Structure 1
Amino acid sequence: MKALLIKQCPDPLRWYRRLIGQTVPFLGDVGTEYKSKEPEGYINFVQYEDAEIIEGDENG
């Protein structure tokens, strides 16, 4: 299963700001950013430059 590894988050207002170094689910690529799911279960997005797609566990 594919996941997103959060590499950085320069924007302190983004939902994944505290998840640097962890993985989150990869739900697709919408053409401008990655689609994912927050730990609370909400669908949200991750900027391309902030993450990389990896094969692995989306539970961090």
Structure 2
Amino acid sequence: MQIAHRANGVFAEQRAFDSWIMLGYAAFAAILLMAIYFASAGSGVSAENIAVLPVLP
């Protein structure tokens, strides 16, 4: 019975940690999208290149 109580505490702490990881990934993705947006405002970049950009790996 004591092992079950300890396991519940470990999983609860791990779930709280996972939310910080997901928040970090979301922040990184937002920063990356902003960087692409500002880089696309440069000269020599057409609208077609921006449209194709998300498709390419």
Please give the TM-score of this superposition, normalised by the length of structure 1: 0.18
Q: Which structure shows the bigger proportion of residues in strand conformation?
A: 1
Radius of gyration: which is bigger? 2
Which of 1 and 2 has higher RCO (CA within 8 Å, sep 6+)? 1
Please give the TM-score of this superposition, normalised by the length of structure 2: 0.19
Q: Which structure shows the bigger proportion of residues in helix conformation?
A: 2
